[in-house]
């Protein structure tokens, strides 16, 4: 049994028999002027290894305080995009022992890394940082970070075309691969003509069993709207319904 915890925004945690994979956890107070999230981490088994992923440095995807978990947990490692700057003086100023760096694997785009028994690949984002592909315990997991077909309302047709070309190019390396879990951006701020573009392209072109919409800023009603779009009917069962934070999904492995 695989457990997927939707915590908030783009933050999900995958619980396997022997470990947790936590993606893009952040301090919800930093976006409280935009949306009031109620998401929080569940109580974790101290015997399970915790791998903390951060796709980039934006405040809705990463929080420096995450590093303090290592004070009370030996079995923890961080996989962080290189745009998250953690220089020596910065860490000291914020009260961290420099030994924390031994627990961090920084990753760049379009690279492959081995972290313990996991293979971690990265794609280049169309915004900042990376998207993650994680091979672990026979599973293939995709987390987009901010890799998306951005098409902000009012920016014009050319804006969307440029991001569309880049989005398709960035996904080319995974076109013929199968994923068990996919966490994919569907941002309502893009408006009626743009919110669905990245998700729709992913759903129609990438083989993925369970697709979790994310980066929705609490606007969960857009999931059902998307599932009613033409051409999605025979694919809609892959898309997981989310209507609030702090939800656990159990998936047979």
pLDDT in tens, 24-40: 999 999 999 999 999 99
Q: What percent of the chain lies above the pLDDT cut of 70?
A: 96
0.85 cut: is pTM over it?
Answer: yes
Residue whose token pair is 């951005």: 150
- The chain-wide mean pLDDT, for the chain, equals 94
pLDDT the model gives residue 191? 85
Give how many domains the chain has, as a whole number.
1
pLDDT at 106 over 90: yes
CATH of the domain at 54: 3.60.15.10
Mapped to the 3 state alphabet, what secondary structure does the chain carry? Answer: CEEEEEEECCEEEEECCCEEEEECCCCHHHHCCCCCCCCCCCCCCCCCEEEEEECCCCCCCCCHHHHHHHHCCCCEEEEEECCCCCCHHHHHHCCCCHHHHHHEEEECCCCEEEECCEEEEEEECCCCCEEEEEEECCEEEEECCCCCCCCCCCCCHHHHHHHHHHHHHHHHHHCCCEEEEEEEECCHHHCCCCCCHHHHHHHHHCEEEEEEEECCCCCCHHHHHHHCCCCCCCCHHHECCCCCCCEEEEECC
The whole-angstrom separation of Cα 64 and Cα 15 is 23
The sign of the torsion formed by the CA atoms of 175, 178, 179, 182 equals positive
Give the residue-averaged pLDDT of 12-35: 96
Give the confidence band of 158 by pLDDT, cuts at 50, 70, 90. low
Least confident of 34-48, 113-127, 158-172, 216-230: 158-172
pLDDT beyond 90 at 154: no
Strand-pairing partners, residue 139, are 136
The pLDDT of residue 101: 96
Give the range of the structural domain holding residue 221, as residue numbers without chain letter.
2-251
């Amino acid at each position: 049994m695989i457990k997927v915890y939707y915590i908030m925004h783009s933050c999900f945690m995958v619980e396997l028999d022997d470990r947790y994979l936590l993606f893009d956890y952040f301090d919800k107070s930093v976006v409280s002027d935009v949306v009031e999230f109620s998401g929080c981490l569940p109580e974790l088994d101290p015997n399970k290894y915790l791998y903390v992923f951060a796709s980039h440095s934006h405040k809705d995807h990463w929080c420096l305080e995450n590093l303090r978990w290592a004070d009370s947990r030996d079995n923890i490692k961080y996989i962080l995009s290189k745009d998250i700057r953690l220089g020596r003086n910065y860490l000291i100023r914020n009260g961290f022992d420099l030994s924390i760096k031994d627990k961090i694997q920084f990753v760049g785009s379009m690279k492959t890394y081995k972290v313990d028994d996991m293979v971690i690949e990265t794609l280049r984002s169309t915004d900042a940082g990376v998207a993650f592909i994680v091979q672990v315990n026979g599973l293939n997991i995709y987390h987009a970070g901010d890799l998306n077909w951005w098409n902000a309302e009012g920016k014009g047709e050319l804006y969307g075309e440029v991001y569309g070309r880049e989005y398709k190019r960035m996904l080319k390396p995974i076109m013929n691969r199968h994923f068990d879990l996919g966490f994919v951006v569907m941002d309502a701020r893009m408006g009626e003509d743009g919110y669905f573009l990245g998700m729709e392209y992913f759903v129609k072109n990438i083989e993925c069993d369970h697709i979790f919409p994310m980066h929705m800023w609490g606007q969960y009603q857009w999931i059902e709207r998307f599932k009613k779009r033409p051409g999605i009917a025979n694919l809609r069962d892959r898309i997981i319904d989310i209507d609030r934070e702090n939800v656990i999904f159990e998936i047979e492995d």
